[in-house]
Amino acid sequence: MATDVSNQKFPFSLPDLPYAYEALEPSIDKQTMQIHHDKHHKTYVDKLNEAVEKEQGLHSMTLTELLRDLAKLPESIRTAVKNNGGGHLNHDFFWNIMGPPSKAEPGGALAAAIAKSFGTFADFKKRFGDTSGKHFASGWVALAVANGTQMLEIVELSGHEVVDSRAKTGVLILDVWEHAYYLKYQNRRPDFIAAWWNVVNWASAERRFERGSAAR
């Protein structure tokens, strides 16, 4: 994953999308992708840099390390790092588990783990979709594997909270902030979620699952 930002250090930077802005049409429209990536995501990167710039002692830490134990950060920048660092990490994750429509379902070890944890693939999609549809206010819904296992769970994250890397590795993530879908879907979040499945990059999710299940 060449564009994975988890190992970035200050100054943080915004990678280009790994595909064209219109590559996810019609599920996610070009204008939404442009504003979401070039404006929203960029703002999180800029604000993260602003916060971390003053704290030279943190310049050697990776984004994952900064987010892993927020209580250790100076209080004056803790909230800014949580919100903007989390926004940077989650958006990068989100862009990279999407792509032009390819295969409709996961294969291999991830498919087996989904079957074991949720029943059929349709059962899993229903559970994940229901959780995403009901999530209150701005946030994210992720599928995560407990590190070093094959055990999957659906995790709800509020604001820009991130999957806790000490215990878990994110496999899939869906942005349910209104800015992710409002231009095309307005209040119809369930329609956005239903269309989003068409652009999930299952090969990328499989690699993330394998990395997490091999992690210690």
Residue whose Cβ sits closest to Mn ion:
175
Instruction: Output the smallest distance, CB 36 to Mn ion, in A.
Output: 6
Distance of alpha carbon 102 from alpha carbon 19, whole angstroms: 13
Nearer to Mn ion by Cβ, of 35 and 151: the residue is 35
Q: With contacts defined by CB under 5 A, how many residues of the chain interact with Mn ion?
A: 3
Return the structure tokens found at 172: 């899939």
Stretch that binds Mn ion, among 76-84, 126-134, 180-188, 206-214 (CB under 5 A): 180-188
Among the residue ranges 8-16, 114-122, 137-145, 174-182, the one whose residues contact Mn ion (CB under 5 A): 174-182
> For Mn ion, which residue of 177, 185, 202, 209 counts as binding (CB under 5 A)?
177
The CB-of-96 to Mn ion minimum distance in angstroms stands at 14
Minimum gap (Å) between residue 44 Cβ and Mn ion: 9
Whole-angstrom Cα distance, residue 119 to residue 205?
Answer: 18
We find the least distance from the C-beta atom of residue 73 to Mn ion, in angstroms, to be 23
Binding Mn ion by CB under 5 A: which of 97, 140, 168, 175? 175
- 192 contacts Mn ion (rule: CB under 5 A): no
Part of the chain binding Mn ion (CB under 5 A), chosen from 63-71, 77-85, 105-113, 169-177: 169-177
Least Å distance, CB 132 to Mn ion, is 13
Q: Report the run of H or E that residue 206 belongs to, with start and end.
A: helix 202-214
Task: Give buried/exposed letters for 165-200 (b at 16+ CB in 10 A, else e).
Answer: beebbbbbbbbbbeebbeebbeeebeebbebbeebb
Least Å from the CB of residue 214 to Mn ion: 29
Applying CB under 5 A, the span of 22-30, 67-75, 104-112, 178-186 interacting with Mn ion comes to: 178-186
DSSP readout, 88-146?
A: HHHHHHHHHTB-SS--SS--HHHHHHHHHHHSSHHHHHHHHHHHHHH--SSEEEEEEEE
Binding segment for Mn ion among 77-85, 111-119, 167-175, 205-213 (CB under 5 A)? 167-175
Peptide bond preceding 11 in cis form (omega within 30 of 0): yes
Number of helices and strands (H, E) in the chain? 10, 3
Phi, psi of 128 (to 5 degrees): -65, -40
In the complex, which residues of this chain contact Mn ion (CB under 5 A)?
175, 177, 180
